[in-house]
Amino acid sequence: MLAVKSKDTTPELLVRRMLFSMGYRYRLHRKNLPGKPDIVFPGRHTAIFINGCFWHGHTCPRGSRVPKSNREYWQNKVARNQQRDARSQADLAGLGWKIAVIWECDCHDAAGLSDRLIEFLGPPKCWPAEANS
């Protein structure tokens, strides 16, 4: 598990590139916020968590899979991750922040993901040059 990254994962980089190309500007991994959200929009009081399906126990086929060896350990680990996520999101919501969770499997549908991001965030404050033409 030493090789498992918590920052700059493939889904996170994909979402960051998408947001930047759409004209959104953001901050990364704010340590002063509960749960250290992956992407933060301080002016909008909005945070995005990008979760791996397996590690955070998503309901998709990859997330509901449990390894055959050491099953009890993995079930407990995912359950602890889910409890930590819920606690962090509740704390953040208690501070008045809007929260979105993007799952690893959501990144396979780029069009759907971009629509979801625009719906959640609203229009970017500065539109890219291509959009003004």
User: pLDDT per residue over 16-64, tens digit each?
Assistant: 999 999 999 999 999 999 999 999 999 999 999 999 999 999 999 888 8
Q: What domains, with CATH codes, occur in the chain?
A: 10-123 (3.40.960.10)
User: Does the predicted TM-score (pTM) go above 0.85?
Assistant: yes
What average pLDDT does the chain have? 90
User: pLDDT per residue over 115-126, tens digit each?
Assistant: 999 999 998 876
Cβ–Cβ < 8 Å for 48, 38: yes
Rounded Cα–Cα distance for residues 37 and 47 (Å): 6
What residue has token string 């965030």?
Answer: 121
